[in-house]
């Protein structure tokens, strides 16, 4: 169902939520679905159940609170079906500006106090930039140059949680959920995207995922091209200096018993001056973004691949003027004839996921869920992504001459029956 830009925002919102209601099962869930989505896109500092109940039904807040709480925390509807319906409705709006070009792998974290919220653990928290008590989720987004949209989303369950039967039962963790690393979850999401027939894109990921050789080799097996950020100590052979003898399967854990094997940083520091070029990749708020790059063909060890079967890849290196050494490295399976600028452009396109998470958290309250259970955590995230999908499609209705680059999402008009009357938050 396409969101026709000839309709006004209120009609599009009502039609959008009605489309989502088609896949949530019992008809009695349609109203709390509409109320929950409305609460997520209305202005307000908190998008947890209690304040949303006050905004969407000020005359019957207590009853509304119980209704929304049951709908998000207990009702048995499918996150996968809701996200699939959202894709069906939003994807045409995104593709009006061009086909899907990228699949972006990433994770995001939510700082938490206590130990009872599902998946909470002392681990690296990207939001704080350090080890802290938090929840972490892994996601896959589809993107082109104008927009991006999360299509798969799953909580990372630390190994300590998977082994704790009491905590699992109390949080309602499904029995079939076993321990998987974040790259393993990401590979499952990519495999699902391939099987679901999603428009193909180049896989983009930061070093936490790109440095995992199992993930890269899994993507190669699925035929998914990638531009993967890696660490400077990743080992490889420069083109023409590959392995010459048979050996055991290789990985990137530090083996140096193969002739000619050197680190990405060593490759970069050994390149001649003429290998470096200044490349522009995207127009920023004030001027074009640019930096200094070099690229070279290399062969990298992948699990399950013997040296003789390694395929050359691009090693892309960024070394900005004024820096003492290179700052970023990527491996890419893009074709040998890809242009220098296209390669850089794909490497830098991953920025879209950072904006997605910023807007999901700031605009629709992705991190505001206060429940502790597995089902409620994922239901809330699904509805946040669905609300965000509507806002993305609304942004795509802005004419080319309008402020398309703004990072502030428009707040659409919603039906009068679901707007808090007499409240300063209604404007």
> Are the C-beta atoms of residues 247 and 258 closer than 8 Å to each other?
yes
Lowest mean pLDDT among 35-44, 338-347, 402-411: 402-411
In this prediction, residues 169-184 reach a mean pLDDT of 96
In this prediction, residues 307-318 reach a mean pLDDT of 83
**pLDDT for res 269:** 96
User: pLDDT confidence of 402, banded at 50, 70, 90?
Assistant: very low
Q: How far is 151 from 189, CA to CA, in rounded Å?
A: 9
Q: How far is 150 from 179, CA to CA, in rounded Å?
A: 23
**pLDDT for res 241:** 55
- The CA-based diameter of the chain, rounded to the nearest angstrom, is 78
Q: How far is 108 from 39, CA to CA, in rounded Å?
A: 23
> What digits encode the pLDDT tens for the residues 344-381?
999 999 988 888 999 999 999 999 999 999 999 999 99
Residue 296, CA distances (Å) to 299, 333, 341 in order: 10, 12, 14
Residue 241, CA distances (Å) to 32, 245, 262, 297, 314 in order: 63, 12, 10, 10, 15
% residues pLDDT > 70 (the chain): 83
Q: How far is 344 from 280, CA to CA, in rounded Å?
A: 8
In this prediction, residues 46-63 reach a mean pLDDT of 94
Closest-CA residue to 33 (of 87, 75, 71): 71
**pLDDT for res 405:** 35
**pLDDT for res 381:** 97
Lowest mean pLDDT among 206-210, 252-256, 277-281: 252-256
| Residue 117 vs residue 238, higher pLDDT | 117
Residue 406 clears pLDDT 70, i.e. is over it: no
> What digits encode the pLDDT tens for the residues 190-232?
999 999 999 999 999 999 999 999 999 999 999 999 999 999 9
**pLDDT for res 238:** 87
> What digits encode the pLDDT tens for the residues 292-311?
999 999 999 754 444 456 78
Q: How far is 23 from 1, CA to CA, in rounded Å?
A: 14
**For tokens 């209604």, what's the residue?**
426
Statement: the pTM of the whole predicted model exceeds 0.95: no
**pLDDT for res 251:** 47
The tokens describing 277, both together, are: 């070029």
| Residue 342 vs residue 115, higher pLDDT | 342
% residues pLDDT > 90 (the chain): 73
User: pLDDT confidence of 424, banded at 50, 70, 90?
Assistant: very low
**Quick one: how far is CA 426 from the chain centroid?**
31
Task: Label residues 333-369 b or e (16+ Cβ within 10 Å = b).
Answer: bbeeebeeeebbbbbbbbbbbeebbebbbebbbbbbb
Q: How far apart are the first and last CA of the chain?
A: 29
**pLDDT for res 303:** 47
Lowest mean pLDDT among 134-138, 386-390, 417-421: 417-421
Give 68-72 contacts, CB < 8 A, sequence gap 24+.
68/32, 68/35, 68/36, 68/39, 69/371, 70/32, 71/29, 71/32, 71/33, 71/36, 71/379, 72/36, 72/369, 72/371, 72/376, 72/379, 72/380, 72/383
Q: Share the mean pLDDT of the chain.
A: 87
User: pLDDT confidence of 283, banded at 50, 70, 90?
Assistant: low
């Amino acid at each position: 169902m396409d969101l026709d830009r000839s309709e006004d925002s209120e009609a599009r919102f009502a039609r959008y939520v009605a489309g989502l209601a088609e896949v949530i099962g019992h008809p009695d869930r349609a109203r709390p679905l509409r109320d929950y989505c409305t609460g997520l896109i209305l202005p307000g500092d908190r998008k947890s159940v209690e304040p949303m109940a006050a905004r969407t039904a000020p005359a019957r807040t207590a009853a509304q609170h119980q209704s929304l709480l049951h709908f998000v925390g207990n009702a048995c509807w499918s996150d996968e079906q809701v996200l699939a319906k959202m894709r069906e409705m939003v994807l045409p709006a995104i593709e009006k500006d061009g086909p899907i070009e990228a699949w972006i792998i990433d994770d995001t974290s939510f700082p938490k106090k206590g130990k009872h919220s599902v998946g909470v653990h002392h681990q690296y928290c990207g939001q704080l930039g350090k080890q802290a008590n938090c929840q972490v989720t892994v996601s896959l987004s589809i993107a082109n140059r104008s927009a991006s949209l999360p299509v798969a989303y799953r909580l990372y369950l630390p190994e300590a949680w998977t082994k704790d039967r009491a905590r699992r039962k109390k949080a309602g963790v499904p029995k079939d959920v076993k321990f998987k690393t974040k790259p393993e979850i990401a590979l499952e999401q990519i495999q699902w995207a391939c099987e679901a027939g999603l428009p193909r894109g180049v896989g983009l990921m930061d070093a936490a995922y790109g440095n995992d050789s199992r993930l890269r080799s899994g993507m190669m097996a699925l035929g998914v091209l990638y531009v993967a950020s890696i660490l400077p100590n990743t080992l490889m052979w420069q083109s023409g200096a590959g392995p010459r003898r048979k050996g055991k399967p290789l990985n990137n854990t530090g083996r140096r018993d193969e002739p000619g094997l050197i680190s990405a940083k060593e490759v970069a520091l050994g390149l001649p001056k003429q290998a470096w070029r200044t490349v522009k990749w995207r127009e920023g708020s004030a001027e074009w973004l640019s930096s200094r790059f070099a690229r070279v063909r290399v062969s990298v060890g992948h699990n399950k691949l013997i040296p003789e079967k390694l395929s050359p890849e691009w090693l892309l290196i960024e070394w900005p003027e004024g820096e003492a050494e290179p700052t970023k490295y990527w491996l890419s399976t893009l074709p040998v004839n890809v242009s220098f600028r296209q390669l850089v452009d794909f490497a830098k396109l991953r920025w879209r996921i950072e904006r997605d998470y910023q807007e999901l958290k700031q605009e629709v309250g992705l991190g505001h869920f206060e429940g502790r259970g597995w089902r409620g955590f994922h239901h809330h995230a699904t509805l946040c992504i669905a609300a965000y999908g509507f806002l993305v499609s609304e942004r795509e209705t802005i004419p080319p001459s309008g402020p398309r680059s703004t990072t502030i999402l428009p707040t659409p008009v919603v039906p009068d029956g679901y707007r808090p009357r007499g409240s300063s938050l209604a404007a």
